[in-house]
Copies of this chain bind each other. A is one copy, B any other.
Amino acid sequence: MTQRVGIKDVARVAGVSAATVSLVLNDRAADRIPPSTQERVRLAAQEIGYAPNRLARSLRTRRTHTIGLVSDRIATTPYAVRMVEAAQDVARERGYLLFLVNTGGDPALERDAVAALLDQQVDGLVYACMWHRVLDDLPENLPADAVFLDARPATGGFPAVVPDDRGGAVAAVQELVDAGHRRIAFIDIDEEPPPVASGLRREGYLEVLRRAGIEPDPALHVRGVSDAAGGMAAASRVLDLPAERRPTALFCFNDRIAMGAYAAARHHGLEIPTDLSVVGYDDQQLIAAELDPGLTTVRLPHYEMGRWAVEVLLGARERPTDEDGVVLMPCPLVRRDSVAPPPTREPGRRRG
């Protein structure tokens, strides 16, 4: 890892001073230095394979061209990994290198991570969460120009980007209403405190019902543990309802719940989408695309959010003018094969 050739080696070979080399190689030469000399310097640099020591350069210029991404768990879980990818992509495109730190949500580690990154003189910091969160307390050493990703400080004051969970839910439920469904259950997750996304998606769900003139049935809003087993149990509860109250469609809080709903449907002898329509949320590749039939779901715009955050951080995109600086990233509906019109007759008991 030892830096072999330095600027003065280039200078020696080209027969000029280090200052000249620096000027030429940074294109600060403009018209001060004749093309002949420039050529000579560049050739020398090329020849001996010179690459500037960025530490030295950064020390002087006070810009490191590095940014830090501190997250609770993104780099840890398969869930929101594309936010990291996006951040990385933007960083690379703009000539930046990305420091990645995972804190697991531990405030002490968070503080240390921020401090370590600042000591490294990073040019900017992104604070990211795995799930859409509203943060009550932040690391107190967070620089004023940090950007939030998939999270926003309760107090505002920082640029932040979060998914438009409400809008996504509207799209999902509207899809069901448009297919002709009137009895639509919401299979929510059972967590305390309820995640931000839960409340927002419920709002979207209720809004569509209201607009469609459908009276929400409290029995159709159930909660389950956020995994396939929980989804199956919760879905079973609504599918067990007497025929006239039973839903013809399920809006699931996420794809894992939807996976459980598929199982519940099977156990009830219902075929998807003929007898029962299902919509999920998250568009988890390993689930939504692999289920049979493919799950219609709402995609979380992780990549787009990741890009947004770093672009704003690097000044490549203008900060939101919005009062609290929060941007809602749209969650597009991904149509697959789990939605169909409701059955016209009593669902038949076909072979599962």
Listed in ascending order, the chain A residues whose CB lies under 8 Å from chain B are 1-3, 51-56, 58-59, 62, 64, 66, 75-79, 81-82, 84-85, 88-89, 92, 97-102, 109, 113, 115-124, 143, 145, 227-229, 232, 256, 259-260, 263, 266, 284-287, 289-292, 351-352
A122: which of B1, B56, B79, B285 is its contact (CB, 8 Å)?
B1
Query: How far, in angstroms, from A228 to B351 measured CA to CA in the complex?
Result: 21
Q: Are B55 and A59 in contact (CB under 8 A)?
A: yes
Q: Are A85 and B92 in contact (CB under 8 A)?
A: no
Q: Are A285 and B101 in contact (CB under 8 A)?
A: no
Q: Are B78 and A85 in contact (CB under 8 A)?
A: no
Query: How far, in angstroms, from A117 to B91 measured CA to CA in the complex?
Result: 13
Q: Are A97 and B116 in contact (CB under 8 A)?
A: yes
Q: Are A121 and B352 in contact (CB under 8 A)?
A: no
Q: Are B53 and A2 in contact (CB under 8 A)?
A: no
Q: Are A121 and B3 in contact (CB under 8 A)?
A: yes
A102: which of B51, B56, B88 is its contact (CB, 8 Å)?
B88
Q: Are A51 and B1 in contact (CB under 8 A)?
A: no
A75: which of B58, B81, B286, B292 is its contact (CB, 8 Å)?
B81
Query: What residues on B are CB-neighbors of A62 within 8 Å?
Result: 2
Nearest 7 CB-CB pairings of A with B = A78-B78, A228-B290, A100-B100, A76-B85, A286-B286, A352-B352, A54-B119
Query: How far, in angstroms, from A342 to B62 measured CA to CA in the complex?
Result: 69
Q: Are A117 and B97 in contact (CB under 8 A)?
A: yes
Q: Are B286 and A55 in contact (CB under 8 A)?
A: no
Taking the closest CB of chain B, its distance from the CB of A70, in whole angstroms, is 11
* Nearest residue, chain B, Cβ from A113: B92
Name, among A84, A286, A287, the residue most crowded by chain B CB atoms within 10 Å (CB to CB): A286
With A99-B100, A286-B286 known, 20 other A-B pairs at CB within 8 A are A1-B122, A1-B143, A1-B145, A51-B115, A53-B59, A53-B119, A55-B58, A56-B59, A59-B59, A78-B79, A88-B101, A88-B102, A92-B109, A100-B100, A227-B290, A228-B290, A228-B292, A232-B292, A256-B290, A266-B266
A1: which of B97, B124, B227 is its contact (CB, 8 Å)?
B124
Taking the closest CB of chain B, its distance from the CB of A216, in whole angstroms, is 29
Taking the closest CB of chain B, its distance from the CB of A69, in whole angstroms, is 8
Taking the closest CB of chain B, its distance from the CB of A351, in whole angstroms, is 7
A81: which of B77, B99, B118 is its contact (CB, 8 Å)?
B77
A-B contact pairs, 26 of them (CB 8 A): A1-B143, A51-B118, A53-B59, A53-B121, A55-B58, A55-B59, A55-B64, A56-B59, A75-B75, A75-B88, A76-B84, A78-B78, A78-B81, A78-B285, A89-B102, A97-B101, A99-B99, A100-B100, A228-B290, A228-B292, A229-B292, A260-B290, A266-B352, A284-B286, A287-B290, A351-B352
